[in-house]
A and B are shown apart, each in its own frame.
Chain A
Amino acid sequence: MGAPNELNLTALAKYSNDFLREVEERVDEGEWVKMCMQCGVCAGSCPFGPDWEHSPQKIFMMIRAGKRQEVLTSESMWMCTSCYNCVVRCPRQLPITQIMHGLASYANRLGLAPKMQPTRQWSLQFWDNCTRTGRVNELKLTLGLYFKDGLMAGIRKAWEMRNIGLGLLMAKRLNPFELLKGHECKDKAGIHRMLKKAQEIEDRRRGFSK
């Protein structure tokens, strides 16, 4: 469980007793939440459905019921595989996948998302990896995941997966030299400036900056 950060306390003060409004204003695609008619098609369409503590249908109702803490600390949204099955089946055409990503991202922003949630860590690693040089370094990304719980755990995991690694190496789909230098964009600096600006603009629009 994450320790709520300052941003969370500010949000609490501003939106007390009105979680739906908070979601509408601060979560990507949050304005759609009120449209859910509780049919449950999303819950039945999800490939990881049984693994969600609260299905999207329930999450939407919990938001409307003001269950802020339960929603934002939930592991559920982190189960989304981005398969978009719920989106194409939703009779109200809600962008459910995007809302789940938005909620997960917001919960992470507030420091409320479960810290050890593996997909949360994976998602952060991916963004960090792909924005560092503008292109994904697949080897560093994979090893980063294996070694996230420490050196010994990483060695164990890498050993477990050695045959897959070797297979990919033989198939020329893995390059050990990516550890030293992988593919990258020429204008890395421009990309970094651009992303910093984008973050500033969004923080301003969503009311995250002071």
Chain B
Amino acid sequence: MAKKEYAFYPGCSSQLKGSASNYLTSVNTMCHKLDVKMTPIPDWNCCGASISYAGGGELARHVMNARNFALSEQHLPGQDVVATCAACWLGAKETKEKLDASSQLMAEANEALKEAGLQYKGGTAVRHMVEVLIEDLGYAELGRHVVKPLEGVKFAGYVGCQTNRPFGIAGESFENPMYLDKLVETVGGEALTKYEQKVTCCGGALAFSEPDKSQKQIRDIVESAYDAGADMIVTPCPLCQANVEVYQSEINRKQGTKFDMPVTYYSQLMAVAYGATPKQAGLDGHIIKPKKLQEIAVKVVPAKKS
């Protein structure tokens, strides 16, 4: 039996051939190595993300999340709901807090859920994958599985917004959260703690509707990683990852820069450090190849632990 079990809420972008499908690949590999069992919530639906506010009313957006909780309670009773996507986690957690605090809203949500034959009882905890790693397993346990330390690789830890605000990870500050740097160090990489754009917004969903304004943000995020001497950026958020990686070529085209900065997920770092192949770590899912990570992943003989 697996050491830990969770109700998994992977989210739309992580699906097969989705924009963050390699995030899911690396999370699955990482969890397998850590003996953590993630069972997807059967028939889970979109959280609505932050951007859907004009279309969905307040209650409609809450019931989207409440449906996932109800399904989780029904099929995976007693297990915490764990999201890997920042927006999924935020949306779900926001709904949970609201419903738990208001019996009226809870009753209204259940009136709507009844139409889908479901009921939310209010027992589900909503957590982020990072919380599972840090709080349930701990840095020491995470370090214990390292067979290939990411020695000599310099990472700019880009936490972004929604994994950090408004909820964040317990015990971390909003202005300078340290957990991503600590995760990097846990797997033997060099964390560039002086990286200045750690919690800067990449534009989020407005990268689509306001490309110029968002690309100004992305330029700062990438430029600062170069300034800090980074080999690559690492992030916990699928939208941060996509925006910051994908639009570098647009910024180069429009502004004459020569950006070529890989953007990876924390789970890829861990998968590689735990001995995964490039494919298992989702390294084939990048437009800008994280070469230094690939080099370590293809090494046949695991480095000795010191």
Interface residues of A (CB under 8 A from B): 28, 47-48, 51, 79, 81-85, 87-89, 95, 97, 101-102, 104-105, 108, 113, 118-128, 130-131, 134-136, 138, 142, 145, 161, 163-164, 167-168, 170-175, 178, 183, 185-187, 190-191, 193-199, 201-203, 205
The reply to whether B19 and A195 contact each other, CB–CB distance below 8 Å, is no
| Closest-CB distance, B163 to chain A (whole angstroms) | 11
The reply to whether A28 and B58 contact each other, CB–CB distance below 8 Å, is yes
Residues on B with beta carbons closer than 8 Å to the beta carbon of A170:
287
| Closest-CB distance, A7 to chain B (whole angstroms) | 13
The reply to whether A81 and B246 contact each other, CB–CB distance below 8 Å, is no
Q: Which of B53, B64, B285 contacts A123 (CB 8 A)?
A: B53
Q: What is the bound-complex CA distance between A168 and B18, given in angstroms?
A: 9
Asked if A124 meets B54 with Cβ closer than 8 Å, knowing A83-B201, A195-B63, the reply is yes
Q: What is the bound-complex CA distance between A170 and B214, given in angstroms?
A: 24
Residues on B with beta carbons closer than 8 Å to the beta carbon of A126:
49, 51-52, 55, 205
Residues on B with beta carbons closer than 8 Å to the beta carbon of A194:
63, 67, 112-113, 115-116, 118
The reply to whether A190 and B116 contact each other, CB–CB distance below 8 Å, is yes
| Closest-CB distance, B139 to chain A (whole angstroms) | 25
Q: What is the bound-complex CA distance between A168 and B22, given in angstroms?
A: 11
Q: What is the bound-complex CA distance between A172 and B50, given in angstroms?
A: 26
Residues on A with beta carbons closer than 8 Å to the beta carbon of B137:
none
Asked if A187 meets B21 with Cβ closer than 8 Å, knowing A131-B56, A167-B246, A194-B116, the reply is no
Cβ of B298 within 8 Å of any chain A Cβ, yes or no, is no
Indicate the member of B22, B118, B204, B287 with the most A CB atoms within 10 Å: B287
| Closest-CB distance, B240 to chain A (whole angstroms) | 11
| Closest-CB distance, A121 to chain B (whole angstroms) | 7
18 A-B pairs in the complex with CB atoms less than 8 angstroms apart: A81-B205, A81-B206, A81-B214, A82-B50, A85-B199, A85-B201, A88-B174, A123-B51, A124-B55, A127-B54, A128-B55, A130-B12, A168-B287, A173-B285, A185-B44, A190-B117, A198-B108, A202-B59
Task: For the complex of A and B, list the 9 residue pairs with the smallest distance between their C-beta atoms, beginning with the closest.
Answer: A127-B55, A190-B116, A82-B50, A175-B17, A84-B165, A123-B54, A83-B201, A101-B53, A136-B12
Residues on A with beta carbons closer than 8 Å to the beta carbon of B246:
164, 167-168
| Closest-CB distance, A156 to chain B (whole angstroms) | 14
Indicate the member of A118, A122, A175, A193 with the most B CB atoms within 10 Å: A122
Residues on B with beta carbons closer than 8 Å to the beta carbon of A142:
208
Q: What is the bound-complex CA distance between A83 and B161, given in angstroms?
A: 5
The reply to whether B205 and A82 contact each other, CB–CB distance below 8 Å, is yes
| Closest-CB distance, B143 to chain A (whole angstroms) | 30
Q: What is the bound-complex CA distance between A89 and B43, given in angstroms?
A: 37
Cβ of B151 within 8 Å of any chain A Cβ, yes or no, is no
Residues on A with beta carbons closer than 8 Å to the beta carbon of B21:
172-173
Chain B contributes a number of interface residues (CB within 8 A of A) equal to: 69
The reply to whether A198 and B59 contact each other, CB–CB distance below 8 Å, is yes
Q: What is the bound-complex CA distance between A126 and B50, given in angstroms?
A: 10
The reply to whether A201 and B111 contact each other, CB–CB distance below 8 Å, is yes
Interface residues of B (CB under 8 A from A): 12-13, 15-22, 43-46, 48-60, 62-64, 67, 108-109, 111-118, 161-162, 165-166, 168, 174, 199-201, 203-206, 208-210, 213-214, 217, 242, 246-247, 249-250, 284-287
Residues on B with beta carbons closer than 8 Å to the beta carbon of A28:
58
Q: What is the bound-complex CA distance between A187 and B118, given in angstroms?
A: 11
Q: What is the bound-complex CA distance between A123 and B116, given in angstroms?
A: 25
Residues on B with beta carbons closer than 8 Å to the beta carbon of A183:
12, 15-16, 18
Q: What is the bound-complex CA distance between A210 and B59, given in angstroms?
A: 19
| Closest-CB distance, B283 to chain A (whole angstroms) | 10
The reply to whether A130 and B46 contact each other, CB–CB distance below 8 Å, is yes
Residues on A with beta carbons closer than 8 Å to the beta carbon of B112:
194-195, 197-198, 201
The reply to whether B284 and A118 contact each other, CB–CB distance below 8 Å, is no
Asked if A173 meets B19 with Cβ closer than 8 Å, knowing A145-B209, A183-B12, A190-B115, the reply is yes
Asked if A196 meets B115 with Cβ closer than 8 Å, knowing A118-B209, A185-B43, the reply is yes
The reply to whether B43 and A186 contact each other, CB–CB distance below 8 Å, is yes
Residues on A with beta carbons closer than 8 Å to the beta carbon of B58:
28, 102, 202
Q: Which of A89, A127, A171, A196 contacts B56 (CB 8 A)?
A: A127
Q: Which of B51, B52, B60, B165 contacts A199 (CB 8 A)?
A: B60
The reply to whether B43 and A81 contact each other, CB–CB distance below 8 Å, is no
Indicate the member of B55, B114, B286 with the most A CB atoms within 10 Å: B55
The reply to whether A85 and B13 contact each other, CB–CB distance below 8 Å, is no
The reply to whether B284 and A172 contact each other, CB–CB distance below 8 Å, is yes
Residues on A with beta carbons closer than 8 Å to the beta carbon of B60:
195, 198-199, 202
